[in-house]
Amino acid sequence: MAGDVTTDPVTLEEAPPPEETSEAAAMAARLAEAGRVKRLNDRTRMIIAYVVLTLFVVIAIGPAFYLISPAFRDSVSLFTYPPEWIPSEPTLENYRFLFSSTSYVRWAINTLVFAGATTLLTLVTNTMAGYAFARLRFPGRNLLFFVILATLMVPVAAVLAPTYLTVTTIGDWPIIGNWIDTDTYLGLILPSAVSPLGVFMMRQFIQTLPDGLYEAARLDGAGEWRIFTKIVLPLIKPALVVLGIFVFMLTWASYLWPLVAATDNEFRVLTVGIASLKGQFVTDWGILAAASLLTIVPVTIVFLFFQKWFVQASMAGALKQ
Amino acid sequence: MTAVDVPAHEATPDDWAAPSLSDSEYRWRARRYRFRTVRRAAGFLSPYLIVWGVFLAIPAVWGIFLSFNQGGLIRGDPRVFVGFDNWTRTVSDSELRTAVKNTSIYVLIAIAVVFTLAIFLASLLNHYKKGSNFYKVALYFPLLAPPILGAIMWFFMVNFDFGILNLLKRSVIGGDGIRFLGDNPHALLTIVAVEVWRGLGFWVLFYLAGLQSVPEELQAAAKIDGAGKWRRFRRITVPTLRPLLLFALVIAVIFNFQLFDSVQVLTDGGPRLGTATVVWFIHKRLFKFQDTGLAYASSIGLLVVVLILTALSFWLLGKRRQREA
Amino acid sequence: MAEVILRQLTKHFGSVEAVEDVTLRIPDGEFLVLLGPSGCGKSTILRLIAGLEDATRGEILIDGELINFKDPTKRNVAMVFQNYALYPHMTVYKNVAFPLETARMAREEVAEAVQRAAEMLEIEALLKRLPEQLSGGQRQRVALARAIVRQPLVFLMDEPLSNLDAQLRLQTRLELMGLHERLGITTIYVTHDQVEAMTMGQRIAVMQDGRIQQMGDPTEVYDAPANTFVATFLGAPPMNLVSGSLERDNGQVSFRFEGYELAVDPATSGIAPDTLDEAVGEAQLGVRPEHLTLASPDAEGLPGVVRFLEPVGSDLFVSVNVAGHAVQVRMPPDTQVSTGSNVRLAFDPARSHIFGADSQNLRS
């Protein structure tokens, strides 16, 4: 298998070829000679490196900035040539339209409810389950954990139809069907709170807390719930923040499930709503730009304040494992 | 019962030393006592297990059953058992075949491009540390926007009339614009560009973390030994990243195979199925075309592929951990 | 306050027999020390009593009540851990108050009880600090305060002094004894330090390989060790042991080694004649360094050559080579002796011990 090809890092120490080291003296002379040229080279190289990096930064953030101009002008003026970079008649018409003639505000509220509730639910269920897997001994623990872990990367699309059927089936039941159905908040939220990533993360994190704390608390008369709330939760706050950001970012950006589960405008979220602004045949580009810009700005502001946490959260999915 | 083995220090045991419970009584009570942990575990696990069970585990199993049926997704539409019909059609359906082909091409190109760029940029950032925090944050930026919004931003890059790329092309090179989304294979390549743009920051940070785990002394030692930049990269950096690389590759395949959001908003599979992907196909068949049977079967196909890849990623991870230990 | 009884207590971890058939009774208010090398099972006994481990077999009773199948939260025992196990996110006050708040005690009562415990351990000034802002000795006091604050039935202490420096250890030892005297709570104290055991314990249980080797008050265990393990584990330097054999000649039993012969008289050695007769064969002779004296080369006793001198201020430890065996002798510090000189070793047979082939003391 491919894995066998990998070199053990331990053997790396032998990597530099030994035949060159024997000529250390000759090498030193050559180095000294080349010294002046090399320094110049280093400088040019550094400049090129920073130019390249800056180029990629421009590519990364450029598209967002390029939204500003169309967001504040009449869509028709987009089609003039030569292009008009800075709007000659800046207007808030796009935003007026967005707030008066579309349900942008409704979508935004729905998104906050959807992502917020999913995050909260995920944090509660995953931390509790992580605690059970980390601290409690019960028969079948490892098997159950393995089965749950196997579903770590199950795509939404792969279970889209049966999940949809589950939700509509529950929707047909009396009473509970009023709460869980397509075009309900819970119908959106519950299937979005299934990923076991947090269970896994929390288990790892809780396992790192010293055993003595649990034992001391137990002898102090504290039951599992009290240990969980008074000892464990305060000590894993950083992990909770990281997981919370991760889940929130993932949920509010999600598209496929909300697209299918919330067709009623009253329950649409921003991603689905903004995508629906792009008409089948005619699109008002100015409004599309205005809506996108308005949506990105608050996230960016939050991000700039808490960037360390964000980066940690995005890595949590891949590296923390 | 075994005979009471009187310890040396208690030459004359009093009646206090005699056990009060019979063996069977003891065992029974011990078992009942141990069972309390099961009750507690159930209390802590049930909130997650209920949500996970009802909305992920049961649907996954249900999906297998569905793959032998046709219809029944919309209320009032009857579900019909069709046996292996869906499965035989997955092989022959030309639209699905195109979707699988497109997705595979997309996955290959996107991962090759994004990994090459990411390792290159990560090496630069690892070497030139001054201001690297700014670059990291800036490169991470596209990840903030939902894929849908990222795709919408790219409309303004590639639109035939007012997209900045076409405006540049017309003013610099002249001639007519390029139909980035209206021609093949341009459309799929544009999708690749959008997704590379979105994912690059993540992979740069990923590889940067990997590179920073390369011991400095190793680099320094190689430098003293006169190993050139390229040689050092090939002999030290690449081998160090290799276990990470395999794992990242599997993860990236899993995620990229699910390409949907940007396709749906940018091209909706077109032109002429040029950007049709597997998930796009599943969604379309389920909720537009109403040939649900084929979608049921391909969903399970996707599920199986992802489960296998997940197992592979865990295996790689286990190997890496073993090596570290 | 309570009496603790262990009946045939056994704990296996897989194939490892951590505790094997331990039976003992700790009367109300006693300070018992479990002494033994690391891995002898002493900490496991503590954890079994606390309920942190479940026994494989055997019963644990506190105040006559079987507690094997009672959750640790309800056993009302307090434990002081080796690393103190303070809650890092709580202030000292919160740490000490935690067991009381867990028991849903009214806030004023909690404050009062914490105040009392804090006074007793002189940590009133630290109540608002976090554990990370405390020194090792202060953490130790907080851990003790947390243990005593709810007046448990039994105190369990798992090497509580081992993380302190020597000076502090000495001071805390005395304070622990004072605390026990004041509170009178049954205490089980685990240590591998024989000095701690001798000075603090009202009784000592010496353990090895999961079994209790000997139990008794400190002087008893020291003066009449049940076997060679106890004899060498207690005392610094340890009891001198030489291997030889018990032989019988004309009704007279004697201990022989390396060509020397020492008559063993039932009357002076305190060994029953029958026992002595049965023990003929391989044996070991043991004498504590303080029960040996150096005599001039022409006096009675075993001949030897002085190899090393170790003056420690209060005593002078002399290492003497007797037929290839290094024998430690404790002498007054002003003893005039030099390395290389020939000496004779004399001792009182009544204070020597003979251990049979099974390592058991023949005198018991």
Domain boundary assignment for chain A: 103-277
> What whole-number distance in Å separates Cα of residue C187 and Cα of residue A64?
70
Instruction: Give the integer Cα–Cα distance in Å for A99 and A93.
Output: 10
Cβ burial, residue B72 (10 Å; 0-12/13-18/19+)? middle
- Does the beta-carbon distance from A215 to C99 stay under 8 Å? no
Q: Average model confidence (pLDDT) for chain B?
A: 86
Residue C110 lies inside a defined structural domain of this protein: yes
**Packing angle of the helix pair B23-52, A141-150 (nearest 10 deg):** 10
Residues of chain A contacting C87 with CB distance shorter than 8 Å: 213, 216-217, 231
Interface test with C, best of A211, A219, A228, A229 (most C CBs within 10 A): A219
Render pLDDT for C301-336 as a digit per residue (tens, 0 to 9): 888 999 999 998 899 999 999 888 899 999 998 888
Q: Amino acid identity of C82?
A: Q
Cβ-based contacts of C7 with chain B (< 8 Å): 16-20
CA distance C36 to chain A (A): 22
Containing domain of residue C302, as a range? 234-355
Strand stretches in chain C, DSSP E: 4-13, 16-26, 31-35, 57-62, 65-66, 77-80, 154-158, 186-191, 203-208, 211-216, 240-249, 252-257, 260-263, 281-287, 292-295, 302-311, 316-322, 325-331, 342-347, 352-355
What distance in Å separates the CA atoms of residue B256 and residue B258, rounded to the nearest whole number?
5
Q: Final residue of a domain: which of C206, C232, C258?
A: C232
Q: Which of residues 17-36 of A touch B (CB under 8 A)?
A: 17, 20-21, 27
Query: Which chain A residue's Cα is nearest to B251?
Result: A318
Q: All domains of chain B, ordered by start, with CATH?
A: 15-66 (no CATH), 93-324 (1.10.3720.10)
How many whole angstroms separate alpha carbon C102 and alpha carbon C87?
Answer: 14
Tokens of A275: 């995508």
C362 in a structural domain: no
| Residues C224 and C293 grouped into a single domain | no
**C211, amino acid identity:** R
Q: Is the pLDDT score of A318 beyond 60?
A: no
Q: Bigger pLDDT: B222 or B71?
A: B71
pLDDT for C297 equals 85
Residues C227, C249, single domain; the answer is no
* CATH code, residues A103-277: 1.10.3720.10
Interface size A-B, in CB pairs within 8 Å, comes to 315
Q: Which two tokens stand for residue A69?
A: 């101009």
Q: Are residue C52 and residue C198 in the same domain, yes or no?
A: yes
Closest CA to A261 of A173, A175, A159: A159
Quote the radius of gyration of chain B (alpha carbons, Å): 30
Among B9, B20, B32, the residue to mutate for chain C (most C Cβ within 10 A): B9
Domain boundary among C209, C232, C255: C232
pLDDT of residue A316: 63
In whole angstroms, give the CA distance from residue A117 to residue A110: 10
Using a CB-CB distance cutoff of 8 angstroms, which residues of chain C are in contact with residue B33?
54, 68-69
- Chain B contact set for A61 (CB, 8 A): 138, 141-142
In a domain, C117, yes or no: yes
The bridge status of strand C57-62 relative to strand C252-257 is unpaired
- Judged on CB neighbours under 10 Å (0-12, 13-18, 19+), A106 is middle
Q: Is C170 within a domain?
A: yes
C330 and C289 Cβ atoms separated by less than 8 Å? yes
Q: Where is the domain boundary, C217, C232, C247?
A: C232
Per the structure block, which two tokens stand in for B221?
Answer: 């030692």
CB contact under 8 A, A221 and C81: no
Q: Which residues contact C323 (CB under 8 A, 6 or more apart)?
A: C257, C258, C259, C260, C304
The reply to whether C130 and C278 lie within a common domain is no
| Residues in chain C closer than 8 A to B36 (CB atoms) | 71
C69 chain-B contacts, CB cut-off 8 A: 29-30, 32-33
Task: Print burial letters for B45-68: b (CB count within 10 Å at least 16), e (below 16).
Answer: bebbbebbebbbbebbebbeebbb
Q: Which tokens is A80 given? A: 């003039």
Residue C227 DSSP class: B
DSSP per position, C314-363:
S-EEEEEEETTEEEEEEE-TT----TT-EEEEEE-GGGEEEE-TTSBBTT
Six-digit token string for A71: 């967001």
Instruction: Say whether both C284 and C152 belong to one domain.
Output: no
The per-residue DSSP string of B38-88 comes to HHHHHHHHHHHHHHHIIIIIHHHHHHHHHTTEE---STTPPPEE-TTHHHH
Q: Distance (Å, rounded) from C-alpha A188 to C-alpha C1? A: 58
The answer as to whether C364 is a domain residue is no
Using the structure block, give the residue that is written with the tokens 């032109």.
B271
How close does chain C come to B102, measured CA to CA in Å? 54
Share of chain B above pLDDT 90, in %: 44
Mean pLDDT, range A147-176, rounded to an integer: 92
Answer yes or no: do B309 and A15 touch at CB < 8 A: no
- Identity of the amino acid at A126: N
B293 three-state secondary structure: helix
User: Are residues C277 and C208 both part of a single domain?
Assistant: no
Confidence (pLDDT) at A11: 37
Full 3-state SS string of chain A:
CHHHHCCCHHHHHHCCCHHHHHHHHHHHHHHHHHHHHHHHHHHHHHHHHHHHHHHHHHHHHHHHHHCHHHHCCCHHHHHCCCCCCCCCCCCCHHHHHHHHHCCHHHHHHHHHHHHHHHHHHHHHHHHHHHHHHHHCCCCCHHHHHHHHHHCCCCCCHHHHHHHHHHHHHHHHCCCHHHHCCCCCHHHHHHHHCCCCHHHHHHHHHHHCCCHHHHHHHHHCCCCHHHHHHHHHHHHCHHHHHHHHHHHHHHHHCCCHHHHHHCCCHHHCCHHHHHHHHCCCCCCCHHHHHHHHHHHHHHHHHHHHHCHHHHHHHHHHCCCCC
CATH number at C339 reads: 2.40.50.140
Compute the distance between CA of residue C34 and CA of residue C160 in angstroms, rounded to an integer. Answer: 13
User: Looking at the structure, do residues C31 and C142 belong to the same domain, yes or no?
Assistant: yes
CB contact under 8 A, B30 and C54: yes
pLDDT band at A163; cut points 50, 70, 90 = very high
| CB-nearest partner of B265 from A157, A278, A319 | A278
Q: Measured between alpha carbons, how far is A226 from A203 in angstroms, rounded to an integer?
A: 18
**Of A212, A221, A231, which has the smallest distance from its Cβ to C73's Cβ?**
A221
Yes or no, beta carbons of A253 and B147 under 8 Å apart:
yes
Distance from CA of C30 to the nearest CA of B (A): 17
Q: What is the rounded distance in angstroms from the CA atom of residue B149 to the CA atom of residue A111? A: 14
By the 8 A CB rule, do A113 and A248 touch? no
**Rounded mean pLDDT, A96-114:** 92
Q: How far apart are CA B221 and CA B225, in angstroms?
A: 6
Give chain C's mean pLDDT. 91
Q: What is the pLDDT of residues B84-94, one digit of tens each?
A: 999 999 889 99
Confidence tier at B321 by pLDDT (50, 70, 90): confident
CATH number of the domain bearing residue C125: 3.40.50.300
Residues C287 and C186 grouped into a single domain: no
Q: What is the dihedral of CA B65, B67, B70, B76, to 10 degrees?
A: 50
Residue A28, pLDDT score = 62
Asked whether C234 and C207 are in contact (CB, 8 A), the reply is no
**Which of B13-22, B64-73, B302-311, C27-36 comes out lowest in average pLDDT?**
B13-22
Per-residue pLDDT band at A24 (split at 50, 70, 90): low
C334 token code pair: 């002003």
Domain membership flag for residue C199:
yes
pLDDT-based confidence at residue A254 (cuts at 50, 70, 90):
very high
Is C143 in the same domain as C48? yes
Q: Which of residues 29-88 of B touch A (CB under 8 A)?
A: 37-38, 40-41, 43-45, 47-49, 51-52, 54-60, 62-63, 66, 72-73, 75
d(CA B4, CA B289) in angstroms, rounded, equals 80
**A155 touching C (Cβ < 8 Å):** no
Same domain, C343 and C322: yes
Burial class (CB in 10 A: 0-12, 13-18, 19+), B318: exposed
Range C39-52 average pLDDT: 93
The pLDDT tens digits of the residues spanning A228-243 come to: 999 999 999 989 998 9
Chains that touch A (3 or more CB pairs under 8 A): B, C
Distance from CA of A143 to the nearest CA of C (A): 21
CA–CA dist C60, C203 (Å, integer): 19
CB contact at 8 A, B195 and B259: yes
User: Is there a contact between A210 and C98 if contact means CB atoms under 8 Å apart?
Assistant: no
A137, A211, A213, A220: best to mutate for the C interface, most C CBs within 10 A: A220
Q: Tell me, yes or no, whether C218 and C242 share the same domain.
A: no
- Residue B40 clears pLDDT 80, i.e. is over it: yes
What lies within 8 Å, CB to CB, of B178 at 6+ separation is B160, B165, B166, B169, B186
Length, in residues, of chain A: 321
Residues C181 and C33 in one domain: yes
Among the partner residues A215, A222, A230, nearest to C85 by beta-carbon distance:
A215
- In this structure, of A181-185, B222-226, C155-159, C292-296, the range with the lowest mean pLDDT score is B222-226
Give the chain A residue whose CA is nearest to the CA of B297: A158
Distance, in Å, from the CA atom of C358 to the CA atom of C360, rounded to the nearest integer, reads 5
pLDDT tens digits for range B98-136: 999 999 999 999 999 999 999 899 988 988 888 888 888
Checking ipTM against 0.95, whether it exceeds it is no
CB–CB contact A221 C103 (8 Å): yes
Q: How high is the pLDDT of residue A321?
A: 33
CB contacts under 8 A, B 2-41 vs C, are: 4-5, 7-10, 13, 16-21, 26, 29-30, 32-34, 36
Cβ B40–A70 below 8 Å, yes or no? no
Q: Measured between CB atoms, does B231 come within 8 Å of chain C?
A: no
| 3-state secondary structure at position B24 | helix
Residue environment code for C243-268, b if the CB has 16+ CB neighbours within 10 A, otherwise e: ebebeeeeeebbbebeeeebebbeee
- Residues of chain C neighbouring B21 (CB-CB closer than 8 A): 59, 66
Q: What is the total count of domains within chain C? A: 2
Note whether C211 and C20 are within 8 A (CB): yes
pLDDT tens, position by position, B138-158: 888 898 889 999 999 998 888
Q: Which residues of A touch B59 (CB under 8 A)?
A: 159, 162-163, 165-166
